[in-house]
Amino acid sequence: MTVAQGGPSVEPHGPDGDAALARVAYRIAPVLGPSSPLGGPDGRHWAEAGAAERAWLSGLPRLGGHLELRCTGGESGRIRAALLARGVAAAPERAVDAARALVGDALPPHVVAAPADVAEELYPIGTAPAVLDLYEVRKQLRQYRLAAPGAPRLMATVAVPLGPGGSWEAVWAELARQPVPTCLAVSLEPFALPTGASRLLGRFADTYGQLACASVGSPVWGQARRGDPAAEAGQRFFEDALHRYQGRVFRLRMLLAAAGPIPPILPELLAGLVGGEAVRLRTDAQRARAWHDFSTLGLDPLPDSHRPTGAPDTEWTELEQELVGLVDLDEATAALRLPYEFPGRTGRLFARLPETPTPSTPPAPGDLPTLH
């Protein structure tokens, strides 16, 4: 469907205020009825929707700004869905263009959109809820102890790629029934690995490949050894990364934020669907970072705390830290799923679009609420 352009918010940006930051917002809802292209509830609905969303994401700009899907449930029993985008440029008009380009001129045909009030969509659970609970869903990190003699590390660590787990119905149904306002925010920022990253990934793969090789030993002295399975896992991970992150690459964040305690079943369902790991944010630093990003439409890299357990700095490089927060186009499509519904479903999960948005002035973010 064609996207109508709504009123953006623009503010000075940068250390000297010499740039402009623009935000735009759109309410979205699934198309439902005889004209729905998704077919019946036989599994094709989400597969066809996923293919359309992959094509949409593949056409977005490669660098600059970021896009966020917010699905908010609780109290009403229906999910309020919105797309927000943020762009930065030297001039306000260019910043607005950059933000709008991240939504695109046309969304997949199974959703409709309407311009929305940026301030309202920035604070779907309130500006300062008395109680705030926060979870992130991140890639799983798996560690394998290296057995090869002369290995430069004790452990090989790999990040498990995200994958499509099928229908989102269970996640959305659980989100809709939350007793307090609860928002699932999925952010994607087009990204490119720095110059020289491919060479470094290749070196990692080669090093692990050498450690993974079996040794036949000497007919006199023996000492033959089998290949090291841990090194093989490391080799596969870096060879995969070398190819996976040469195409469309995004920095990803999946956040659950609620104005009250989040039942563990919701983050567990979400993590299980995409093959990730649910992490409850407990420390003040983690919570402050997540709340600031949520209330300003920011997207910081994953914190250094998301690393292998007990890994010293010598065994965990900046490149590896960056990799665990990146996704390719297929992973991005698995993580950011637009609303879909199909004829024959009992009840609607998603709210319809409002008649017209009501403009307002963006409020200042409140203090970080306490975690109970």
Beta-bridge partner residues of 143: 157
| Residue type at position 322 | E
Question: Can you give the C-alpha Rg of the chain in angstroms?
Answer: 22
The whole-number pLDDT of residue 150 equals 79
Of 32 and 303, which is predicted with more confidence?
A: 303
Which carries the bigger pLDDT value, residue 218 or residue 88?
88
At residue 269, the 3 state secondary structure works out as helix
**At CA 82, angle to CA 125 and CA 182, rounded to 5?**
30
Residues 6+ apart with CB under 8 A from 355: none
Query: 184 and 282 in contact (C-beta within 8 Å)?
Result: no
Q: What Cα–Cα distance (Å) separates residue 367 from each residue in 132, 133, 314, 361?
A: 11, 14, 37, 18
- Residue recorded with tokens 């019946």: 40
pLDDT tens across 250-288, in order? 999 999 999 999 999 999 999 999 999 999 999 999 999
- The predicted-structure confidence for 27-72, as pLDDT tens digits, reads as follows 999 986 544 454 455 567 777 888 999 999 998 887 778 999 999 9
Domain ranges of the chain: 9-215+225-335
Q: How far apart are CA 237 and CA 336, in angstroms?
A: 23
Q: Kind and range of the H or E element at 66?
A: strand 66-73
The pLDDT assigned to 43 comes to 63
DSSP 252-285: EEEEEEESSPPPTHHHHHHHHHHTEEEEE--SHH
Query: From the centroid of its chain, how far is CA 279?
Result: 14
With 0-12 / 13-18 / 19 or more C-beta atoms within 10 angstroms meaning exposed / middle / buried, residue 109 is middle
Whole-angstrom CA distances from 354 to 113, 341, 361 are 10, 18, 19
Tokens representing 18 are 């010499």
* Residue range 111-160, pLDDT digits in tens: 999 999 999 999 999 998 999 999 999 999 999 999 877 788 888 999 99
Token code pair at residue 61: 């700009």
Picking from 264, 257, 322, the residue whose alpha carbon sits closest to that of residue 294 is 257
Which tokens go with 245? 């992150």
Distance CA 150, CA 296 (A): 48
Phi-psi map region of 176: left, alpha, beta (phi>0 left; psi -120 to 50 alpha)? alpha
Q: Kindly tell me if the per-residue pLDDT of 353 is higher than 60.
A: yes
As a whole-number percent, the residues of the chain with pLDDT over 90 amount to 55
In this prediction, residue 16 carries a pLDDT of 64
Q: Which residues pair with 350 in a beta bridge?
A: 79
Q: In angstroms, rounded to a whole number, what is the distance separating the alpha carbons of residues 269 and 90?
A: 42
- pLDDT score of 357: 44
Residue 200 contacts by C-beta under 8 Å, 6 or more apart in sequence?
A: 319
